Structure formats: structure tokens, C-alpha cells
Structure 1
Amino acid sequence: MLTLLLLSLVSIIFIYQSYKYVIGRPAGFPPGPPRLPFFGSYLFLLLINYKYLHKAALSLSKWYKSDIIGLYVGKYPVAVVHDGQTVREVLNNQVYDGRPGLFLSKMRDADDCVRGIFFQEGVLWREQRRFILRYLRDFGFGRRFDQLENVIAEEITDMLDLIRNGPRYEHEHQLVKPGGYRIQLPLFFNPFSANSHFSIVYNERVPRAEMAKLIKLIQFGLQFQRNADDYGRLLSIMPWIRHIWPEASGYNKMNEANLYIYQYFSEFIDRHIDSYDESCERDFLDLYITEMKKDLPKESGFNREQFIMALIDFSFPAFTAVGSQLSLIVQYLMLYPEVTKRIQREIDEVVGCGRLPDLEDRQKMPYTEATIRETMRIETLVPSDVPHKALEDTELMGYRIPKDTIVVPSLYAMHMDKRIWSDPENFRPERFLDDEGKLCLKKDMSLPFGAGKRLCAGETFARNMLFLITTAMLQNFDYVLAPGDSLPDLSKNFNGLIITPPDFWVQLKER
């Protein structure tokens, strides 16, 4: 009898504790789904929409009738914000400038110490970001710079030649079919974007004949982007599953990509360090090496490992994200041919056919610029932004957010908010134009590059590349369907760290 009573008591205590665990949450925390052992609330997100977790989180927000929800990703408390004004508040408040130590960020560094820029916080992050941006600006990063614009024009000229004449080297067969006029996206645009970026960083470009390693870098970059998700996948919850299901968990593909990217940049930097001459400043990298050689405290962060990771972080968008965003623009241009024709009319009127479009033309081409902005709104490249972390106890929308809570400002929700956009589901570039057909920046409430101190450092570079490549392509070609082709299916786009289309071939026709 006593044994039975003890078993009953233990069972009751176990059930009670389990119940408390499932529904328990910090006092004043936003409403949200229960949590399960190991998974937290992550399993509910997968069940609602396993492919697009940002849409799953928005569905939960509507279910709980709250613009902010609280959930758990494994052991990590997470607050997901869907209100546009509060999203902007999070991005501009330095209290939320922390970065969570998710496994996805830790796996990038062999020493298991989070370095670089994306996933760093505190004094080291501020120091590194300030130094890199300050000196990269001297080489054309983040501002108008004639030399850089000339480089981009040369890269676009090479790109057009590759389209018209087909592959000249073996590795170019991955970009364009023999005979030309048929390109693979999103891979195709990235080498030319990457080369333009590299000209800023180390004042050199990779010749077409030597692009094989660069193309491989881009492929692995896309592989890394596609095999993560908004919340770091199950690897962030249960890192040990990489030992049991290395393939299914995505670990193998991310690790393979991570190792190649790290090796690519470490070899590159080591060559630069070995050839460094303090009497001759060749480029930005020499400025960083000069800082490394000073007698600075170890915690300053100016060392080889930080150098590699910081350079990866500043280069990653240029060799993956720009080409992906351009490919998303192509998808919409193919789905909305009337938009394509209107842009081409604007190009013909402003630029003509005797030269490439340049950045001086941009202010005279409001519809083209509006189309690019509308694509970045409706197809948010980084739907959940890079996760933030509360650096102290704080409050959002009347709810308590404890220190170290992961805070996700949903850029996707902001860009699809009817209170801001009226008809957000419609692709309508005109929403950014005034009554006279001019670009009205006051109407652009979108934040495709984030905001605040965590604003994407490459925003100016990316916007310039998007305009120059989009207009150069439409000046010269039409996007058409070859036999067997079909229009893009947006529902097949991947949701990883960024939104990317699946690999697809596009037919071009000379205008």
C-alpha cells in the first residue's frame, strides 16, 4: 500500500512539474505556444509551416491576437515581433544589439569562439565594425566612388560578353550554356558582384580564366545559406544530433561549406600577410595588417582569426545575397511582363542603347528604382533579420523581455502589414511613386537591410549593384521562356538564412 502511495505521489509530482514546464514562461512574457522537452516551441513552428518559419511565427501571432509572441527554441526564450513600429524600435535600440550564441554561429569557427561581425557583440564588435567601415569607405565602400563604378561597369561588360558568346572556360559552363543566352540563376550574377566587392577590399579582381575557385566559393556560400533557417535549425537546440544524423540535420552541408569558405579566405589573407610591406600600402587589407602588428592588448581583436572571420562576414552578402536578390527580381519581371516593358521604356528614354546605365541615371528612372524596392519588400531576403538578443531586462509592447532573450524583428511581417501597405500581397511598384510619377522615399517604410547599428554595412553597394545589373540586363535582353520552361513558382523558393530561388536556367533574347 505504501509503495502504491509513493508511486502515485511521484507520478503526481512528475505530471505537475511537466505541466509547469510545458506552460511555464517568465512573468510578463508575451503569449505564445507551449514548449516541449528538448524542442521547446520549435516543433510547433515546423508543424505549422516547416518551410517558411517566419510565416509560421506570423500565423501564431494571429492565433494569439498579439503583435508579439513568446516562444522557446530549445532552452532559449524568444520574442518575435510583428508590429512594424516595434520592429523599427528593436532595430534602433542598442539594448537589442546583442547576438545569441546559437550553434549556427559557433560552428563557423574551429576554436568554438564566435568572431567576425554578424554574430559578435559588445566592445569587440563595435571596435571591429567601426575600424572596417571607416577604412573601407576610403576605398569606395558605402559611398559614391568613380573608380568603383568603373570597375562595376567593366564587370558588367564581361557579364554581357559571357551571355552573348557563351562560356570561354570550363568553369563558365556552370554559369551559361554553350552558345550563350541561357544563364543559371542565382549563381550567374554572383561572380561579377563578388569581383566588384573584392576590388574594394584588396584592389584586385579575379580574371575570368581563374574564376573556378571563386565560383566554387559562391556555390558553397549558397549551400550554407540554404541549409540553415531563421532559428538555426535543430542544431541550435540539440547540437549533438550532428553526430547521429549529420546529413538530415543539415550539419554536413553547412560544415562542408563553412570549411571551404574559411579555407578560401584564410589562404587569401595568409598570402597578404606574407607579402606585407609596411612601406607600401596596397589596399584595405594592409591597413588591417598594420593594426595587427601594433602592440595592442589581446582582447582588442586584431589578430589573424578575427581578420578572417570579419572579412568573411563583410564579403558574404556580395558573393551570395546580391545574386540571390537579383534572381528574385528576375522572377518577378518574368511574372509581370508589363513591369518589364515599362522599365525598358524608361531605360530607352533615359539611357538609350549607346552606353551602359550608370548611377547618374538612377534619379531619372523612378519606376525602375520603385520596382527594385517593391521586390525587396514583397520578397524579403532576410525575413527574420539576423536574431538579436536583449542585453538587459527591458519591455516591449507592455511585455517583459528578460536579459538574454532572443528578439526576432520580423522584417517579413513588417513588409506584409496591411496597416502600413494596404495591399501588401500585391506586387505594385507604383506604391513608391507620388502623383507625378517621381520616387517618394517617404512612402518607403520597408527595411530590407535592417536599421540601427546592425544595419547591413553593404546597403549602398547592394542597392547600386541591383540597379546597375538590372538595368544593364533589361537594356540588352528580354527574359523569355524556352521550350520546356515554365514561369517561376515562388512557392519553391528556399528559406534558409536568406530567401533564394532554386537553381534554374533562364533564356535571354537580344532586344
Structure 2
Amino acid sequence: MFTFICFVTVVILLLLLLWDTIKPKEYPPGPSWVPIVGNFLDFRKRLATIGYHHLVWKEFSEEYGSVVGLKMGRNFVVTVFGADAVKEILTREEFDGRPDGFFFRLRTFGKRLGIVFSDGQLWQKQRKFSLQHLRNFGFGRKEMEEKIVEETRDLITVFKKQCSEPIWMHTAFDVSVLNVLWAMMAGERFDINDERLRKLLNILGDAFKLTDMSGGILNQMPFVRFVAPETCGYNQLMDVLIRMWEFLQETITDHRKTLCSLHARDLIDAFLQNMNIKSDPSFTDDQLMSLCLDLFMAGSETTSNTLSFSVVYMLEFPEIQKKVQEEMDEIVGRNRWPTLQDRLKLKYTEAVLMEIQRRANIPPLGIAHRATRKTNIFQYAVPEDTIILTSLYSVHMDEKFWIDPLAFRPERFLDKNGNLSVNEKYFLPFGYGKRRCLGESLAKANYFLFFTALLHNFYLEKSFEGPSPQLEGVDGVTISPKPFKAKLIPRSD
């Protein structure tokens, strides 16, 4: 009897394992997968050779086409390539969801909170609240530019004091960029040399390099954290989150102690007031912490990486740096710094900034989406809760539209008359559709004002001390520049 039970058990297990290898009907093309881990081992093997998640996906697309379907652990993952397929995802309501799972809930206390990886009514309410109150405190208004100008002047002053020696530039903008958003969120700013914050930003940057947009091994096979917590990155990620929670909790506690029911000083105050006067279940302590974490991470990573890459490109292409400075000198002059009102006149400068965004591909796979119901992409079936990745890299490096896409050529964004010409179908640094980046206007203003202030005040030259700048960055959720130093030579008035 015992032998029979064992035999039946083994047969059932084998059938379950066999069932686990069967693809859903009309699922997008992709490699066959094995039970339990799916395509995870194949993906990791390719990643070890290629070095970048988005390039592994590119290799799959070369084999299987513009829509590729894999299974990573327990998750169905579909990645789309090319402007048509990417726009299809970003404009259809059933793909507006965000992934769920252990990794995505880890940072929000095991719940679906915040605004980056939430969806449905919670996301709609919290996004509306965040935009409304950030605008009240300067977001998208003249006050925002004033905050950015204050930070650029402070940073340039620091650079002038340090420029007798080469300066580390890969993290040079982190605190200054964060300060602009933090002033609207928490009503305060950090000193550029704040060691605690710099350490926090450094470990946060490391966390961005630990995983990828599909959630990585912690989402695909969360049980691994019990077997190899160090190897899978769980311990390091928890260390980052605990430090972030402690940092944010301290700020929120200080706000509670000094909260005025009649006057909100910043976004945190406005949220606390809502908690006190409304019975809306979406306004909770955990949601406030998650919202602050989302905004902190968004405000400190992508824009500062883009600015650091802009330094890399100006060092690699000094003739383009010279043309930007000549345009600024001619249109703005040397008696004042460029302002946002100058953007439309500084056409070549704007083209350079766009070309850096296109070529650097900071968010190569955007932010992951989720199919909120069973649906289709073109002729392929997509099961409910499938994780959807959009290869923005494939759009920005499309050889048919961008001739010689690896070349750095700002003139791509100028027409024959020298005016800006942008085809938004092929240029998506902030995404598209309802889930387009909430902070786009702030990011663009930061990018323009910090970049022009830097080139207005300094010539940028390569340093022979320390590592050289590299056009190719470090893999992760976002692409970050490799550590490098640069010489900042003050420009005379």
C-alpha cells in the first residue's frame, strides 16, 4: 500500500512538473522553459555573458520577434520591442496595472502602496493628491524654477571651491537634484556635503543595481531568500529599506510634532492633514511612508544619472560642448545664467539634451506594467497578471528611424532650418500614456538648468587622475554612469 501511494505521488508530481512546462495557448513566442524556474537559468546565463538586462531581452527579440514571452520563476513575463508594440502597451487601459509580488510589496510593508507600483483607485487618488499638493508648493510653477536655481548656484559655488583638483562627477548632482523635490515634499533641504544623506544615496544607488524591472529573483522565486539571502540580494535590499524607513520616519515624526491644522507647509503636512480630517482608507501611515519613498527614489536617481551622463558625453565630444557654449554665449550672454525662458531659443542645446537621453537610455525597460485581465498583444494571448516590459531601448535605438543609432548626433532633433523636431513615437524618455512619468516637468527643468549652469561656468575636460568616463553605464533598474572624475575649468566672464 505504501509503495502504491509513493508511486501515485511520484506520478502526480511528474505530471505537475510536465504541466508547468506547457505554455498558455497562443502565448508570445520565446524559448521553452523548465519546471519551477522557467527561463530563469537561461536568462542568467545570457546576462553573465552580455552584462545588461535590456540587451539580454534584445537578444531574445532578435530570435523571436517584437513580442517575446518568457516565464521567470512563477511569473509570465512578456517584453515588447519597437515603437508600434511599445505604444500599443502604453496606450491600452488593460496594461496600466503594475506588477504584484514579493519584491514589489517588500518596500511597502507587504501591501500595494505608494504611487509607482500601485494601480486602480489607490493609484488614481494618490497620484491626483500628490500632483495637486506638489503644485501648491511650487511644482510646475515659477517657484519650482527658483528652487532649482538656488540649488544650481549652491552646487556651482561648491564646484568653484573644489575645481583646483579633478572632481568625482558620477554622483555630483545627487543631493542638489533631490533637494528640489525634497523642499516641496518636506519643506527643507540638505547640505551638499551631508555625509548621512550621501551614504543613504550611495546605498540606494546600489539597490537600483541589485535587480531589474521584472522584480528579479526575489519576485520570481521569493523562497530563495531563505536559502541564499546574501547571494540573491535580499539582505542588502532589506538593509537599504530599513535605513530609508528610519530616515523617512524621522522626517514624518518631526512634521507631526509641528503640524498646524490650518496651514500646510509641504506635501507631508498636507497628507497628515488629510489623515486627520478624512476617513479615506487610502490615507494611512504606511501609505505616507511609501509615497515618500517613491518620490525620494524617483527624485534622486534618474535625473542625477542623466546629468552625470551629460558630463560624460561633453567630455567625449568636446566639439559639441563647444557648440553648446557658443550658442549660450550668443543668445544668453555672459552677464547672466540661462533660465527656462531661454529653452526655446537654445535649440542646439535642447537637441543635445535630447540626444543624451536617447543615447544613454537611462530607463532602458521603462517601469514594468501588468495585464489587469486576460487580453492580447497583436495576435498573441496574454494571461491576466502577466508582467509587461517595454523596451524603450529598442525604440531609441531603432535602426530604421535613427540612422546609425549608436552615433551621438544632436542634429537628429533639428530640422533643416535649425528648429527642434521631435517624433514622440520614437522618443520616450518619460514613457507615454496614463502612466507617463509624474515628475516629467520637474525632471526637464532640472536637466536644462543644471546642465546649462555647468557649461555656462566651466569648461569640462577629461582628467588623467582616476577612472575615465565611459559611455556605457552600470546595469540595473536604471542605467547609472560608472565612477569617473573630470576637470572643471572656470570660464572667465
Scaled to the shorter chain, the TM-score interval is over 0.9
Contact kept? 1:68, 1:83, Cα under 8 Å: no
Task: Provide the C-alpha distance between the structure 2 equivalents of 1:156 and 1:325, rounded to a whole number of angstroms.
Answer: 15
Letter of the structure 1 residue corresponding to residue 171 of structure 2:
L
Q: Distance in 1 between matches of 2:442 and 2:106?
A: 28
Return the offset for 1:444: 6.9
User: Are residue 257 (structure 1) and residue 240 (structure 2) matched?
Assistant: yes
Counterpart of 2:89? 90
User: Structure 2: which 5+ runs fail to align?
Assistant: none
SS in 2 for 1:441: coil
1:225-261 deviations in Å (ceiling 9; x for gaps): 1112232222222223223322221222222111111
Root-mean-square deviation (CA), in Å? 2.4
CA-CA distance at 1:19 after TM superposition:
5.5
Aligned equivalents of 1:444, 1:370: Cα separation in 2: 17
Which amino acid is 1:43 matched to? L
> What are the residue-to-residue correspondences of 1:92-491 with 2, within 5 Å?
92-109=91-108, 111-141=109-139, 143=140, 145-166=141-162, 180-208=164-192, 211-297=194-280, 300-442=281-423, 445-485=426-466, 487-491=468-472
Amino acid at match of 1:237: Q
User: 2: CA distance between counterparts of 1:373 and 1:88?
Assistant: 19
> Which amino acid counterpart does residue 52 of structure 2 have in structure 1?
Y
1:36 maps onto 2:34 in alignment: yes
Shift of 1:14: 7.7
Residue equivalent to 2:56:
56
Secondary structure in 2 matching 1:473: helix
Q: Which residue of 2 aligns with 1:171?
A: none
Q: What residue identity is the alignment partner of 2:177?
A: S
**C-alpha displacement at 1:77, in angstroms?**
0.8
Partner SS for 1:509: strand
Residues 15 and 277 (structure 1), Cα distance of their counterparts in 2 relative to 1, 3 Å cut: closer
8 A contact 1:164–1:181 mirrored in 2: no
Q: Which amino acid aligns with 2:56?
A: A
- 1:169: which partner in 2? none
Q: CA deviation at 1:295?
A: 4.0
AA of the residue aligned to 2:287? Q
Q: Secondary structure at the match of 2:361?
A: coil
Contact 1:335-1:487 within 8 A present in 2 as well: no
- Name the CA shift for 1:165/1:387 in 2 (closer, same or farther; >3 Å): same
Q: Counterpart of 2:156 in structure 1: which amino acid?
A: L
Kept in 2, the 8 Å contact 1:48–1:56? The answer is yes
Native 8 Å contact 2:460 2:487 kept in 1? yes
Shift of 1:484: 4.0
Indicate the percent of aligned positions where both proteins have the same amino acid: 32
Report how far residue 17 of structure 1 moved: 6.5
- TM-score scaled by length of structure 1: 0.89
1:363 alignment partner, SS class: coil
Alpha-carbon contact 2:264-2:270 (below 8 Å) kept: yes
Query: So what's the TM-score if we normalise by structure 2?
Result: 0.92
Q: Given the superposition, is the C-alpha separation of residues 284 and 59 from structure 1 closer, same or farther in structure 2, using an over 3 Å criterion? A: same
Stretches of 4+ moved more than 6 A in 1?
Answer: 9-17
Distance in 2 (CA, whole Å) between partners of 1:443 and 1:340 is: 25
Asked whether the equivalents of residues 228 and 254 of structure 1 are also in contact (C-alpha less than 8 Å), the reply is no
Question: How many angstroms apart in 1 are the aligned matches of 2:101 and 2:476?
Answer: 15
Structure 1: gaps (5+ residues):
167-178
- Residue 271 of structure 1, CA deviation: 1.0
